[in-house]
Amino acid sequence: MLNRIVVILLLIIIIIQQLVINTNSQKAYSEHERMVVDAVEKVKKSVVRIDAWSSEGKPKELGSGVIFTPNGHIITNAHVIKDTETINVTFFDGKKKVGILIDYSDQYDIAVLKVDPTGLTIVPAEFGDANKLRLGQTVVAVGNPLNFGWTCTIGIVSGLNRNIRADNRIYEGLIQTDAAINRGNSGGALINLAGQVIGINTLVYRGKSGAEGMGFAITSNKARYIANDMLKGRVIVPQRAWIGIEPIEITPQLAEKYALPVNYGIYVKAVVPDGPADKYGIIPGDIIIKLDDKIVDSVAKFNMMIESKKPGDFIRVTVYSNNVVKVINVKLDFRSR
């Protein structure tokens, strides 16, 4: 009889423990889910759909935007509205307005539109500080992908300060996320669980491997800074740092064929007269092997490292010149693009 009572008591204890574990697990999951729902609820009226049309009246681009001011200013990507004739903006409640382009920066891929706020419920988004982001932090992408209407996808911060060359631009300091970003998401919001915009969704990178889950957003700090400059009437000059050479990527095959002293680096095919390289003594036939003490083994990496600088910055260039290794501090100039 005593043994039976002990067994029953043990079973009761096990059942109670399991109930406690299940309750706690469900509570933790529900709390996270509630935070996601609340964040999306907070921002959904601040994200708009953008339809851009060519001068021939043909649809040219589909995108999203984020309401920036109570006066109807909207931030989006420059590539969404560039070279378009008519811009239509659709709000969460279905109301439509014509968007007027205030300014755009092709270099930074940021644009500001303006709509007449009459008759609209304008809800500006709250912008957070992207500098406080941490790897693994939950984020939600909100926008209008593939013409499906308002859509949100959840993911994490997969990387920070990413530099990518895409669409003839070099994007710097991007947020990487595995939250699904597709055509139509461009210009939309990447938010944290406080419902704050911490990025402007910009591109998906697939590369030659066709990789999935690599979406990128311009940081809220950069987008807000550029947008404010535009609203103040400041000209966003599209300039990149420039060194003034014609580069050729050295491969092991090229190195063997031409008996080069190294099997990697950038071969200087030509130098622009009076350009930065020319002024600091870099000549055709030199081989650049390092920039700022970092190995350069591709033209893409070489260009990205140069163009990540500002005109007037110095860059430390390590070169093979007549089989002698030289280190030259080159002051970069600019070439408008």
Average pLDDT per run of 10 along the chain, which is 337 residues long? Answer: 61 68 57 92 95 76 93 95 89 93 88 94 95 94 87 94 76 90 91 97 76 84 90 68 89 89 92 92 95 89 81 94 93 72
Sign of CA dihedral 205, 208, 212, 214: negative
Q: Kindly state the DSSP code that residue 126 receives in the 8-state scheme.
A: P
Residue 119 vs residues 86, 115, 125: alpha-carbon distances, Å? 21, 11, 19
Distances (CA, A) of 311 to 197, 240, 288: 30, 7, 20
User: What ranges do the domains of the chain cover?
Assistant: 46-114, 130-231, 239-336
* Phi and psi based region of residue 129 (left: phi greater than 0; alpha: psi -120 to 50; beta: remaining): beta
Burial 58-90 (b: 16+ CB within 10 A, else e): eebbbbbbbbbbeebbbbbbbbbbeebeebebb
User: For this structure, is 336 an active site residue?
Assistant: no
Is residue 109 flagged as an active site residue? yes
The CATH number fitting domain 130-231, selected from 2.60.40.10, 3.40.50.300, 2.40.10.10, 3.90.1150.10: 2.40.10.10
Q: Which of 79, 178, 286, 333 is catalytic?
A: 79
Pairing of strands 215-219, 73-76: unpaired
Alpha-carbon distance values, 98 to 53, 57, 103, 234 (Å): 11, 14, 15, 24
Q: Looking at 186, 220, 286, 333, which residue is catalytic?
A: 186
**Which pLDDT belongs to residue 337?**
40
- Please give the CATH topology (third level) of the domain spanning 46-114: Thrombin, subunit H (2.40.10)
Say if pTM beats, i.e. exceeds, 0.95. Answer: no
Residue 32 is a catalytic residue: no
> What dotted CATH number matches 239-336?
2.30.42.10
